[in-house]
Structure formats: structure tokens, C-alpha cells
Structure 1
Amino acid sequence: MAFFDDLSHIGFSTKDFYKSTELYEKLGFELIDQEDNLGSKVNFYQINDLILEVYEDKTNSENGAINHFAIATDEIDKTFAHVKKLGFELIDDKIMHLPFFEHGISYFNFYGPNHETIEVCQKNKE
């Protein structure tokens, strides 16, 4: 018997709350909720079923509180060009490929404002 259905959200702290807000809105995330947690700002952003919790933590000394999160796409080439055009710092200077799943995946990574790694991933159909 399964107790879990799907990913609820991915949460991470940010030293610069407004830079994070700007990044996720530029990427097309919709702000779905704003909260205050004992004086710390908390925003929830959503694209389709993916929800991110971004919370203010000025004492965070790590490069993002998670290693990375992945956003799915069916148009990796267009997405890569769009992210590059927006001026984000790319980790991968080209679209990468791995033999995962039936037909492999194509992906690239870039940095968010807190040096968190953001992966864009496409499950290849052929």
C-alpha cells in the first residue's frame, strides 16, 4: 500500500528574497501563496504540478538548501535558448544527454540567485 502520491513541493532558503522572487517569476512560476513565518517571508510558486517554497533566511551560509530541483520540458532546445537569453549563469554551456529511461534524457543546469542548481530536463520520446 502506497502512502505517497506525488511531490508536494521543494523548499529552500534564500538570503535575498527579492532576487529569488524575480527569478521564479521570470521563469514563469505563478505566485500562489505568501506567508509570514515568525517575521520571515515565505512564498509558494507553481508551474503545473511543481510547487516551490522559497523562504527568507538571512543566516543561511550554504549554496541553496537543496542540491537541485528539476523542471520538466518537452522543448529542451527552446527552453535552453530562453534561459540563456534571460542571462542566467549556466552550469552546462550546452544541452547534455544521459541514457536514462527508455529513450534517454536531455538536460542542462543553471544557477539561481542563491547559487542553487536548477535543472531543466526532457524525457526523450525517440
Structure 2
Amino acid sequence: MNFKINHLQHTGIPVTDLDTSEIFYKKLGFKNVMVSGFEHNGDKGSMAMMQQHEMIIELYQMPPKELKEIRSRSNGHIDHIAFDVSNIEEAFTELKAAGFKVMEEAPVFLPFWKNGCRYFNITGPDGERLEFNQIL
């Protein structure tokens, strides 16, 4: 691959109550550095990026229709690991051409951070989701 992975960007954790989870992570020393909404299947969800030093955890609450699945788990889980890339188009093109299972048709824009970000996901051998993300 010619594109460069800069560093681990964040770990995404689905939560059932964003406010409660934000309080929990603040007690661990994390600060809320960004809040945003997002659309999923025509409904609105919300997220918060919690940071401590170089670590960033993305807490996100899916729309109400999607919360049932998260609440039914007997334990939590990490949803995805995100890698920071400098050129999302280059990463997308190379990974798709190399035969990786790319989940999106094209990089997706989200209104996160100051100017937004673009991302796409691939799946690993055990179904793990690896996100490639460029903050714009």
C-alpha cells in the first residue's frame, strides 16, 4: 500500500445514554472535545469525542429505533477502531483495488470536527470493523 496510516485516531463505543457515558468518562479524566449529531436511516443520533492526552474515544448513541440491539447485550463492546489517514481517496482506492471488503460505496462525509471528516470501513477476517478517517 502506498497510502500512509498516521496513527490510531479513535475507538468507537456505542452507548445507550450519551450523557451518562460522558459523565463516566469524565470521571476517568477524559474531556469532551467535540459533540455532533448524525443521521442514520433517516433518524438522528448523537456523539461525543472524549479525549485524554492522545487517546480519543468516540461515544455515540444511535437513534431510538436502534437502541434495542445495544441494550440487549449482556456486556459492552468496541464497535470500531479508526485509523487517521492523510488522503481518504487514496486509501479508499488502494484498499478496494487490493481486494479488501469495503463497506461503503465511497468515503462518507460527517459534520464532525471543525470542517467535517470523511471515512469508510473495511472488515477484517473475524468481522471486525476498521475505519479509515480523514479530518478535513
TM-score w.r.t. structure 1 length? 0.48
Structure number with the higher strand fraction is 2
TM-score w.r.t. structure 2 length? 0.45
Structure number with the higher helix fraction is 2
